[in-house]
Amino acid sequence: MSRFTLFFAKRFVQDATDAENELSLKAKVRLIASKRSPIPSPPATVSERKENSHFVPVKSETSVTLKTGEKRDARIISVSRYGVAIETEVLRVKDVILIGSTKVLFVRSAGSRAMFKFTRPLGFKLCNSQLIL
């Protein structure tokens, strides 16, 4: 156990002067260190993302919100856990910040179709045809 860790822990625990309290303090520090949250897993690789299934929700009509706050209609072409493809008449698709109520980042567009990445991947339980964006 490093001196820094012990020093840091002593600052928040009163009466750690005698040997018994110091041993107790060391045990508390070990307990705190053992309960650290695990390191988050790295983001999915391209091959893992492509393996995830794509689907079209039952309700494919949605709205897009632009940076200006203006709302327009759109149609969902495909959804995966990591993103969505839509068809819309919005001329500046790079200004889209919300699809339905979900925050998105622009990826690319082709004609009236555009692809967006979710700022947070959808939960596994949400990835089904009953999804409403």
For 32, the enclosing helix (H) or strand (E) is helix 19-34
**Both 9 and 29 in a single domain?**
yes
**Both 59 and 122 in a single domain?**
yes
For the chain, the domain total comes to: 2
Establish if 41 belongs to a structural domain. Answer: no
What domain range includes position 8?
A: 3-34
Q: pTM for this one?
A: 0.59
Residue range 102-114, pLDDT digits in tens: 999 999 998 889 9
Establish if 40 belongs to a structural domain. Answer: no
- Going by the DSSP 8-state scheme, the letter that residue 126 receives in this structure is G
User: Does position 16 have pLDDT exceeding 50, yes or no?
Assistant: no
CB 55 within 8 A of CB 127: yes
Among 133, 35, 37, 130, which Cα is nearest to 85's?
133
User: Does position 49 have pLDDT exceeding 60, yes or no?
Assistant: no
Residue range 19-35, pLDDT digits in tens: 556 656 666 666 565 55
